[in-house]
Every structure is written in C-alpha cells, then in structure tokens.
A and B are shown apart, each in its own frame.
Chain A
C-alpha cells in the first residue's frame, strides 16, 4: 500500500472525496498541510484575507452548488476567526468541512502558542467534530466528516489536526475507504407511509389550504417536486427567507415571502388557513411571531422535515412526517394520483378570491420620490431587470437583505444566498466570491449595505488575486438601517450608535485602491444606466455605491407579540 505523510493524506483524501476547491489561510500549525498543498495540483486553494471570509466563501459555494464547502485554517486565532462562519453554516444547515490546525499533541493543554480548544469552542455550532490523534486515522475521519456534513440535515463538521499528525517525515499506509458504517448515525429516508396518506387526505379535504416551504426543500433538492405538487393541487404557497427559490416567485400561486417582513397576502393566508403543509421549515420566531399560541389558530398542521428534533419544537404538528423531502414529496404525489378524494373546488375558488383581495393591498408597492432620491427597493428592482432575474444574489444582513428578499423574485433554487438563521453581517461579499468561483460564467451579485460591507471588505484583495468579477451593489443609507428603523419605531428616533455619515470611506476610491472599478449613483435618473454600465463590465469587480433614502423602512413588518395577521404596513398604516 502507498505510504503517505499525514499532510499528503489530507490532500489526497480531499481529492478522493471529490473536493476541488478549498478556502483557507496558512499559519504555523498547518504549514505541513500547506506544503502538501503546494506539491499537488488536484485541489485549488483560495487564499482569503481573513479566516471568517474563508468560511463564508465556502458557505456561499456550498449554498450555490449543493456540494460541501471546505475550509482550512490554522490553530488559535485562525480557528476562532472561523467560528462566526461555522455558526452561520450551522444555523442554516449548510454542509461544510473545516480543517483546523492544532498545536502539537504534546503541547495540548499547556496553553501553548496559538493553542485554543477548537473542538470545545465549536461544539455547540457543529453537527460533529473530530480530533485527529493518529495520522493513520485521517482517511477514515475525512470520509466520516463528509458523510456527516452532507447527509440528513446537513451541517458543518470540524476536524482538528495537531501539527505532529501531519509531520512529513512520518508515513502511514493510505487507502481511502469506499463506504463507512456508523452504528450511531443513520440518515432518515422515506417518510412513514401512513402519515403521508393522512397528510394527503388532510390536504385534499382543505377549504383554505396553504403551503409553507423552507430551506430544507432547497437543501434536499426538492424544489422541482414541490412545484409539481403545488401546481397539481392549485394551492397557494409561500417561501421562508431561507426557502426563496424553492417555488418560482413569478408563478401566480406564489404569495411571496412570509414572516416578519413577509407580504400581507402570505401572512394573512397563513393566519386564516385551515390546513398548513410546512415542508423543510422549522417554524422559527421570525415566521411565527413571538407568541406561538396565536399562530395559525384554525389550521391542522402537517410538518415534513428530515430532522425529528425540528418537529413540534416550537409549534405542535398534527401530522408529523420525518423523512427526506424528495422521498416524502414523491410519495405524496403518488398518493395524490391514487386518491379518489376530490379537491373542494368551490372552497378553493372562494379562498383564492379572498387572497386576491389581500393582494390588492399591494404591500410591496413602491411610490417613487419625485425629487430624484432613490428608494432602496428601486435598486433591487433595477438589478432584477438588468440581470433578467437570473443572477446569484448574496446579501449581508439588515434592511438591504430584506429588500433583496422581497423584490428580487427568485425563480430557481440556490440563487439566493443569505445568512438567515444567524444573521451574520459580513457574510455577503465572501459568499459571493464562493459563488463566483463555483460558477465563473454566472453573474454573482452581492447586495449589501455600507455597514455590513465594512465587516469583510478586505476580500477586495482576494477578488483581485483570483479575478473574481463580483458585482457589489451597496444600498448606502449612511446608517445601520435596520437598527435605525427599530430606533425610529420603538426608541423615539434616538439613533444610538447607528449613524456614522461623517466617517464613511469613499467607496469608489476604496474599490479603485484595490484595483477594481467603483461607480457612485446618487440620482434616480441615472440608476438604470449606471447599473447597466456596471453589469456590462463582465470581467471586472465593480462596486456600485448607491446613495439611497435613509428614511426608508422595511414593510410589511410583524407586530411583536401579535399573530401573523398583525402587521405594520407603512409608517402610517397597520392591520
């Protein structure tokens, strides 16, 4: 059998696992591994400028492709810098494998230089973690790590590697395992047939049905089947923030996003429905609003998820189904095919008429300013127009994220890349790099704000090094917009530490300093032309600094403590 050092084993195992791209940053504890990377040509390594960006870039890559993202960082600060990105991936169930260097085994526990207990620090934010004690275990551990990260409910897995384990002088026989068996880890497959039948019966018997689909449908590659089921039934559907793209936004059955900043019609239909099919969702507090006792009061709740712990966690399910989204949807479709039960067409017609009335409210309507001031929503609409709705949109967190979610209209899964669960500012730009590396020909856009962008702007340099022509659209309102919005609404307009207009950098010059293109847009009249100019520069990174109305709020907005039907619709209107 071939004899390899621990470092060489790692690169070989990654290659044998099908990895061709990793994101990382070198340091003392991983130097043996970096030397192994230098000596091979199968895996490309992208040198980021901060470990947090490595994790977000790998995350963006994973969200866009469905393949696991891979990160390599050194011990101590390298590992702790990666923590925010690992938590981000964990909250959104993104498959990721993080290789972290560790001090030599003999130094562990002695507070050695750049020592930190990475397995301990990351424990609550990983699906699983490994500490490599013997180089001979590397192939098996890598195999297990990828298996765990990518199956069931996906998530990040950390492999912590003491430096001596990758010593080039110590060699071990290498063979990559074909299969693995873990007695303690089984992946749910098919759902319970009896439960599925019950769910289909409930759906067919519904008078006011509603389908509520989330990120699990995208992660589980169930978007196509979900669309088929929804269209077969002719029922209304909403997607969560994480589920945007699971059902085509341009289809008339789509009511828009639901929840805290969901559309009026989606939230109203949720509240008044009598049968709710939740699929790949987790009934989180940004959907249900704070008081779950007021959530969907009349509904029989059918809940499909691959994670049994998600079911009845916050809202009790009447028909729980544990299984993979594709297997369950296939069986539901079959069941539907064979069923003698007919849909109550009359009730459905009445329900759609009600929904049409809610739609008339036009809760996402934008009234343009007449003085040339740009509303942030108009920028997202223009980006949609110019990219023909076919771009990959990454965002950071805040008002711009909600505007992008509300106004871009995603027709395909995996096009919408955002930190939904953890809400990580600084996520968008590195994530857009990961997307661009996965799809060099695609349009990778980062819609951001001047606050979030400054949390990872050092990645300008990475984009220059690897020629990544990401388009950054900065909705610049010169303040931390969402914080400011809450301060407007709940704190008497006292802008405590949410404004900094006087100290903002000149983003155009900043982009230019890194060798990129910067464009500033200040007037509505020039919005389309200048955006088109930016997108026409196909081979260049362009930073578009769009000065937008700082007074704008995101609406609709859920009223805290209320039901889903309780919303603020504008600065002057409430439900």
Chain B
C-alpha cells in the first residue's frame, strides 16, 4: 500500500542521513523524498512516499519517531489530504508536433517554461498519477528529460502538522 509520511525534524547536519539511513538499514522502500526548511528555520519538513502493509508502516513510523532529530510525524495517507508533485519535462517538438505538445500541456494545465527550435520544456503539477499520465501521453520517443520533485502533502481541513 502506498503511504505518504510527512515529518518535522531539526534542521541540523546529519538529520536527513539518519532518516534515509533508517530506511536502508531496515530495508524499507523510499519511493520519493522531499525535504526543505519550513517557516521556522530551525525545522525542516520531510515527506517520504513509501509502501508496505499496515504492520510495516507502523514500524516505519515508530522507528522514525525514535530518531532524536525527528520532532513530529504524521501519516498523511491515514486521512483526507492534498498531495502534489511538480515535474519539469523536456520534449522533442518540431513541426506539427509543437502544437500537439502545447495542446497536451493545456489539457494537463501545464505551463511551457522554456522553448527552443526543437524542444519545449513544460512544468506540470499535480498528483503523481497525473504526472505519469502526462508522460504517457507524449508521442513515442519524444521525451528528452524528466525532473520530478517527489510528493509533498498537507492534511485537509484544520488539522496541521506543527509543534
């Protein structure tokens, strides 16, 4: 089962390596990982997408909570939440293909952020599924490069992850 765990940790050297190390040490999966400071500079927010059954996820959250640098943690996928991922994708686009790529970008509410004579760079945001779909929609052998941020998320409603 796909799960999104979001946590606040001390913005200190070594903190990230402890989190990442825990996953490899106990052979848990990291499907994606995003991390950046929050509005409080002493805290970083890290979001990890992982997978596993109920028991495995429970162990992951317990072991993450045990890390001294981890201050607070939430399993976003336990309740209603919003998740987003950002993708920058460069596709080959010449001749008639250029209009087709632009159309696709419109359908997926992407923005063209760079342009050359032979390629277009598009920024798309949304759920991971949507980004997957956008890649799949491109004509064969036209995708030149993909850069994705990994999932980040927030709970719906008044619930907040804060100290």
Interface set of A (CB-CB < 8 Å, partner B) = 119-120, 123-124, 127-129, 131, 148, 182-185, 307-309, 312-313, 316
Contacts and interface: CB of A to CB of B under 8 A. Distances in A.
B66 A307 contact: yes
B10 A184 contact: yes
Nearest to B70: A184
Contacts of A316: 55
Contacts of A124: 21, 25
B13 A183 contact: no
Contacts of A309: 59, 62-63, 65-66
Contacts of B66: 307-309
Nearest to A322: B62
B65 A308 contact: yes
Interface string B1-41: 00000000110011001100100010000000000000000
Contact of B68 (A119, A120, A127): A127
A312 B13 contact: no
Contacts of B59: 309, 313
Interface string B119-163: 000000000000000000000000000000000000000000001
B45 to A, nearest CB: 14
B100 interface: no
Nearest to A128: B68
Given A309-B62, A309-B63, 8 more contacts: A123-B17, A182-B68, A183-B71, A184-B69, A308-B62, A309-B59, A313-B59, A316-B55
A183 B58 CA distance: 22
A123 B68 contact: no
A131 B68 contact: no
A184 B9 contact: yes
B63 A123 contact: no
Interface in B31-88: 55, 58-59, 62-63, 65-66, 68-71
A128 B17 CA distance: 12
Interface in B80-115: none
A123 B66 CA distance: 14
A148 B66 CA distance: 11
A308 to B, nearest CB: 5
Given A128-B68, A184-B9, A123 B62 contact: no
Interface residues of B, number: 20
Nearest to B13: A131
A123 B58 contact: no
Contact of A184 (B55, B58, B68): B68
Contact of A312 (B9, B17, B18, B55): B55
A197 to B, nearest CB: 24
Contacts of B71: 183-184
Contact of A185 (B13, B62, B68): B68
Nearest to A185: B68
B10 A120 contact: no
Contact of B14 (A119, A182, A312, A313): A119
19 contacts: A119-B14, A120-B17, A124-B21, A124-B25, A127-B68, A131-B14, A182-B68, A183-B71, A184-B9, A184-B10, A184-B69, A184-B70, A185-B68, A308-B65, A308-B66, A309-B66, A312-B58, A313-B59, A316-B55
A182 B68 CA distance: 9
Given A309-B62, A309-B63, A313-B59, A123 B13 contact: no
A318 to B, nearest CB: 15
For the complex of A and B, the 6 pairs showing the least CB-CB separation, nearest first, are A309-B62, A184-B71, A128-B68, A124-B25, A308-B62, A309-B63
A131 B17 CA distance: 14
Nearest to A148: B68
Given A129-B14, A131-B13, A184-B10, A123 B70 contact: no
A256 B59 CA distance: 31
A2 to B, nearest CB: 28
Contacts of B55: 312, 316
Contacts of A131: 13-14
A308 B73 CA distance: 15
A121 B21 CA distance: 11
A360 to B, nearest CB: 40
A183 B68 CA distance: 9
A308 B9 CA distance: 19
Nearest to B71: A184
Contacts of B18: 123
A328 to B, nearest CB: 18
Contacts of A183: 71, 163
A313 B66 CA distance: 14
A552 B68 CA distance: 46
Contacts of A120: 17
Contacts of B70: 184
Contacts of A308: 62, 65-66
